[in-house]
Amino acid sequence: MSQKVALITGASSGIGKEAAIELKKQGFTVYAAARRIEKMQELEAKGIRPISLDVTDDESMVQCINEILKIEGRIDVLVNNAGYGSYGALEDVPIEEARRQVEVNVFGLARMIQLVVPGMRKNKSGKIVNISSMGGKVWTSFGGWYHATKFAVEGLSDCLRLELSPFGIDVIVVEPGGIKTDWGIIAAENLKKVSAKGAYTQAASKIADGMIKNYTGNQLSKPELIARTISKAVTVRRPKTRYLVGFMAKPMVFMKNLVGDRGFDRIIKMLF
């Protein structure tokens, strides 16, 4: 296992950071990629190799992959973790911001896959882990663009799994529930910023306050849980196609399947 090379995007904090630590423990040579490389000194001290990456910049992505291949000669595992949540009423969110959300959460992920697949195909092995969300199966108020990207990741991953299975490459989707990271705070701040005025003011403010309360509380799962799930997925011989894990992930998806769309709408309105 010491010869296996893993690349994790969005690794400066949260799930990506913990996944880097966990895979290092499992004996991988780990490259932790993020825009702000200065935030990864702690990882570097653990023997993890920070590398600069901006998933909205093609030159940065190409340079990242080429640098690893030049040093290691291979990339065995890609964990597509980079992403964020941009909340706001569809009517209010500027299309430029919507495009950026899709660029980061979908096109950046897809481009990284394009860059690693030739080497994996040549080696007849590899594992691609796409971090989706329970938000790729269910929905919440004012999360239209975020949920659109995660639903897209789900469909893209299913098609990719069929394409790459003949070459010995596994495609794995991890669908976290509520995780104790800054994600919810950032999404809530975006929501307040975008929909603080106008027709959605009251509802948006109430939901944003609820998100902040939720993400500053103690109910959510720790990112280490997702890191352990990723580690399991990339070390077993035959991984599952999906791992739905974390606070409320399974109950929320179960409820949606049980009560249908309008029934789930009522549940979301009640919860938020």
Active-site positions read: 146
Write the DSSP string, 184-197.
HHHHHHHHHHHHSS
Are 169 and 120 within 8 A, CB to CB? yes
Token pair 């590899």: residue? 126
* 179-211: b (≥16 Cβ within 10 Å) or e: bbbebbbbbbebbbebbeeeebeeebeebbeeb
Those residues whose C-beta lies under 8 Å from the C-beta of residue 118, and which sit 6 or more positions away, are none
For the CA atoms of the chain, what is the radius of gyration? 18
Burial of 120 (0-12, 13-18, 19+ CB in 10 A): buried
Asked if residues 15 and 81 have their Cβ atoms less than 8 Å apart, the reply is yes
